Amino acid sequence: MRVLIKGGDVVDPLRETVEKLDIIVEDGKITGLFPSGGEAEKTGHETRIIDVSGRIVVPGLIDMHVHLREPGHEYKETISSGAMAGAAGGFTGLACMPNTEPPNDNSSVTEFILKQARKANILKVYPIAAITMGRKGEILTEFGDLRLAGAVGVSDDGSPVRNSQVMRRALEYARYHNLAVISHCEDTDLSAGGVMHEGSVSVRIGLSGIPSASEEVMVERDISLARLTNCPVHIAHISTAGSVEAIRRAKGDGVPVTAETAPHYFSLDHTAVIGYSTNAKMYPPLRTVEDVEAVKKGLAENVLDVIATDHAPHSPLEKQVEFDQAAFGIIGLETAVPLTLQLVKEGVLSLPEAVKKMTYTPASILGVGGGLLKEGMAADLAVIDPEKEYVLKEADIISRSKNSPFIGKKLKGRNILTMVEGHIVWSSESEYLNS
Amino acid sequence: MNGFSHKDLLGMGQLSVKDIELILDTAESLKEISQREIKKVPVLRGKSVVVFFYEPSTRTKTSFEMAAKMLSADTISISSTGSSIEKGETLIDTAKNLQAMNPDLIVLRHSSSGAPHLLAKEIAASIINAGDGINEHPTQALLDLYTIREKKGKIKGLSVAIIGDIEHSRVARSDIIGLTKMGADVTISGPPTMIPLKADELGVKVVYNPAEAVKEKDVVIVLRIQLERQSKILFPSIREYSTWFGINKEIIKNAKADAIIMHPGPINRGVELAYDVADAPFSVILNQVTNGVAVRMALLYLLMGGTRGEGIN
């Protein structure tokens, strides 16, 4: 079957261009890209034409930081439901964190995750294994075995490695096995008991604070270790101006550090917590307006390389409770596109820059390939309607969990079609789903 | 209607100056009931009040129950021990079940900041926040305002020092909001570990040294030190705290000659407050407790839509 994706504004994140191109897809691969209306249509084969004029075509988005909750917490999300939520959001690849039950600290769990992903048959799942056994921060997991089983990176996400010696060894050993090391930076003594950003809002609404320093001291530590070992480290979900500044300095010094932020850190600030809204509770917490501006600047200046959602599904059991007892985390797969397009609209990023942070760059850091639309590459792509305006409704959320602070908010820009290896795995418009 | 337009009392922030004056005036007219031989008027007859305490309390709980009973409301008390909370029922479920029995008002004390706000969203009965986590304790602030007005004749223009663990005190937060709203000048004091980083957000002055903080003050409010917090590295020892931050006669000398001293109770005698200060003639600590009943009567009356003339005055 030959498919012609016709008339879209095709984004090349590497050359940073947007061009009107027709894309030919055969046997799951891109076999040609031609200036729109030209060559592609003349060929005589039986061709299904998908007209996407006026829409943006991007390489399939890759989210390098999600929680799919399986095994162990299937009532919150499964690999299948999370993959479908990802597909709805324009993602064709998801890297899932190891804080499952049991944790992904051995090859059989990694294999199980990949088996479930194959069964779901929706998009590509890249398991991130634990750095240490049981995510306890003590004994390294079997990186080689995990790599062979299909893990692409390691992280003790949520339970940061406290012992700096263990972290140093992890960086050194992971490089040998080509595993990305992703660090959730939190000094858990400094953040203990805190439930929101420590600042002008926490003092007024009487909630215990998490200081910016709890993130920043660990960012500085990991930078020191990367500097010492010259081994790469990727810092997850940056939320503070101080962290952005630390990474800016480190990059200037040539330290092999990369970093991500999540859409909520450039879309919301700590005032979202007022009213004790548990959907505004996550780690790191929403920070100040100044931090939001610093995160945006960090993205614009490429200090922050990646936009990842930290999609963290939780059920009402964990969220419809007292604020201090509520779980940390929000879902993000289905709102990443409109929130990131807002940055493009504000002029923080160009469209190709924004797309690069959600495609080519995370793919490169994880070493999974993809993230580009090029002849010979897998036909993983998303079609986005940048003008589509809508109010996010809880009932429209595909993820099994509905813990989003953006419910009821007006969003602009929506993924309308997701293709993985030539198959349309999701579309908001029924015409595309036929055949 | 009685001019009070709120369904719930969740915090001092929601009250206007007019609201606070109405509450204090109403309390003044109701206070006399508690001094009568027959301490009961029928204004809230047929109304039911659930007093729901997730945390231990003597003063506040008794005060609410007495206030409700003096106004002839029926009261039911629940505490977390001996109720279904021990069986793991969530706050919302417990509340919905209570709501199904159709009470008119729920008084809630809870260890989580924002718990009464959560409840208020879920159920139709009026909610009074009787202390939520480290957030607010509005009825304490109102009885403090009442006591200050009673002793000083006014609130506006007074200088007030609040001393102790400001960061973790719901009394401090409510007092600060109420006092500044009513035009008093507030200084907070205590070890730097107990003073919020962004204290300026609260519209107060920070003076760490207690002897300096009380200088020329009309009112000194001493907060209870939660001894269990010692494990949280907020202060090295009780001895050290009382030496450096305990309020004694020597320190009080710096305040105005007619200053009053207040404390929300329960007192750790010899820790935050010296024995002779707690019992000194300028201490109004027990007046606060007496006034607490009157203020809570006023709130129950106003929130349950009581109308004047049914046995009051």
> CA-to-CA distance for A362 and A372, rounded, in angstroms?
11
Please give the sequence-ordered ranges of beta strands (E in DSSP) within A67-119, or none if there are none.
91-96
* For residues A313-337, average pLDDT: 97
Chain A residue with the nearest C-alpha to that of B114:
A276
> CA-to-CA distance for A282 and A236, rounded, in angstroms?
13
Q: Are residues A157 and A273 part of one domain? A: yes
Pairing outcome for strands A29-35 and A257-261: unpaired
Angle (CA) A194-A196-A199 rounded to 5° is: 100
Q: Which of A366, A386, A411 is the last residue of a domain?
A: A366
First to last CA, chain B: 18
* For residues A271-284, average pLDDT: 97
What does pLDDT average to over chain B?
Answer: 92
The residue segments making up the domain with residue A413 are: 2-57+376-433
Residue A41 belongs to a domain with what CATH number? 2.30.40.10
Contact A7, A41 (CB under 8 A): no
Q: Indicate yes or no: CB of A275 within 8 angstroms of CB of B91.
A: no
Calculated CA dihedral for residues A13, A16, A21, A26, nearest 10 degrees = -30
pLDDT band at B230 (very low <50, low <70, confident <90, very high): low
All residues at 6 or more sequence positions from A74 whose CB lies less than 8 Å from its CB, including other chains: none
Chain A interface residues facing chain B, Cβ-Cβ under 8 Å? 193, 198-200, 202-209, 211, 275-276, 320-325
Please report whether residue A197 resides in a domain.
Answer: yes
Q: Are residues A324 and A236 part of one domain? A: yes
Coil, helix or strand at residue A244: helix
Shortest distance between the Cα of A82 and any Cα of chain B, in A, equals: 28
Q: Are residues A177 and A271 part of one domain? A: yes
> CA-to-CA distance for B207 and A148, rounded, in angstroms?
62
Please give the sequence-ordered ranges of beta strands (E in DSSP) within A301-422, or none if there are none.
306-307, 381-391, 410-420
Please report whether residue A371 resides in a domain.
Answer: no
Tokens 């289905």 correspond to A334
pLDDT at A434: 60
Q: Are residues A240 and A108 part of one domain? A: yes
pLDDT at B309: 42
Q: Indicate yes or no: CB of B198 within 8 angstroms of CB of A199.
A: yes
All residues at 6 or more sequence positions from A422 whose CB lies less than 8 Å from its CB, including other chains: A1, A3, A25, A26, A27, A28, A29, A379
Q: Are residues A147 and A249 part of one domain? A: yes
Q: Are residues A111 and A53 part of one domain? A: no
> CA-to-CA distance for B231 and B233, rounded, in angstroms?
5
Q: Which of A366, A391, A421 is the last residue of a domain?
A: A366
Q: Are residues A380 and A361 part of one domain? A: no
Taking the model in full, what pTM does it have?
A: 0.94
> CA-to-CA distance for A12 and A100, rounded, in angstroms?
35
Chain B residues touching residue A199 (CB < 8 angstroms): 197-198
Calculated CA dihedral for residues B13, B19, B20, B23, nearest 10 degrees = -130
> CA-to-CA distance for A331 and A82, rounded, in angstroms?
10
Question: Total structural domains in chain A?
Answer: 2
Asked if residue B96 has pLDDT above 80, the reply is yes
Instruction: Give the tens place of pLDDT for each residue, A110-169.
Output: 999 999 999 999 999 999 999 999 999 999 999 999 999 999 999 999 999 999 999 999
ipTM above threshold 0.85 = yes
Report the 10 Å Cβ neighbour count for B61: 19
Please report whether residue A117 resides in a domain.
Answer: yes
Q: Indicate yes or no: CB of B115 within 8 angstroms of CB of A322.
A: yes
Shortest distance between the Cα of A131 and any Cα of chain B, in A, equals: 30
Q: Are residues A48 and A71 part of one domain? A: no
Picking from B39, B54, B191, B218, the residue whose alpha carbon sits closest to that of residue B129 is B54
Chain B residue with the nearest C-alpha to that of A196:
B113
Among the partner-chain residues A203, A275, A276, the one whose CB lies closest to the CB of B201 is A203
> CA-to-CA distance for A322 and A281, rounded, in angstroms?
11
Tell me whether B115 touches chain A (CB under 8 Å). Answer: yes
> CA-to-CA distance for A435 and A2, rounded, in angstroms?
12
Q: Indicate yes or no: CB of A198 within 8 angstroms of CB of B136.
A: no
Domains of chain B: 12-136+291-303 (3.40.50.1370), 138-289 (3.40.50.1370)
Picking from B200, B198, B204, B218, the residue whose alpha carbon sits closest to that of residue B175 is B204
Please report whether residue A98 resides in a domain.
Answer: yes
pLDDT at A44: 63
Chain A residues touching residue B92 (CB < 8 angstroms): 320-321
Chain A residues touching residue B90 (CB < 8 angstroms): 320-321
Q: Are residues A397 and A260 part of one domain? A: no
> CA-to-CA distance for A255 and A248, rounded, in angstroms?
10
> CA-to-CA distance for B245 and B249, rounded, in angstroms?
13
Q: Which of A338, A366, A394 is the last residue of a domain?
A: A366
Q: Are residues A227 and A138 part of one domain? A: yes
pLDDT at B89: 84
Please report whether residue A272 resides in a domain.
Answer: yes
Instruction: Give the tens place of pLDDT for each residue, A23-49.
Output: 999 999 999 999 987 766 666 668 899
> CA-to-CA distance for A25 and A51, rounded, in angstroms?
14
Asked if residue B313 has pLDDT above 50, the reply is no
Q: Are residues A166 and A211 part of one domain? A: yes
Shortest distance between the Cα of B291 and any Cα of chain A, in A, equals: 26
Among A107-121, A326-340, A356-370, B220-234, the least confident range: B220-234
pLDDT band at B56 (very low <50, low <70, confident <90, very high): confident
Please report whether residue A248 resides in a domain.
Answer: yes
Tell me whether B101 touches chain A (CB under 8 Å). Answer: no
Residue A265 belongs to a domain with what CATH number? 3.20.20.140
> CA-to-CA distance for B273 and B267, rounded, in angstroms?
7
Shortest distance between the Cα of B188 and any Cα of chain A, in A, equals: 14
Q: Indicate yes or no: CB of B114 within 8 angstroms of CB of A323.
A: yes
The residues of A carrying an active-site annotation are: 310
Among the partner-chain residues B90, B136, B197, the one whose CB lies closest to the CB of A321 is B90
Chain A residues touching residue B91 (CB < 8 angstroms): 321-322
Q: Put the strands of the sheet holding A180-183 in their side by side order.
A: A61-66, A91-96, A124-129, A153-154, A180-183, A233-235, A257-261, A306-307
Q: Is B5 exposed, middle or buried (CB count within 10 Å of its CB: 0-12, 13-18, 19+)?
A: exposed
Report the 10 Å Cβ neighbour count for A289: 10
Chain A residues touching residue B118 (CB < 8 angstroms): 276, 321-323
First to last CA, chain A: 11
Chain A residues touching residue B201 (CB < 8 angstroms): 200, 203-204
Q: Are residues A427 and A319 part of one domain? A: no
Among B81-85, B161-165, B259-263, the least confident range: B81-85
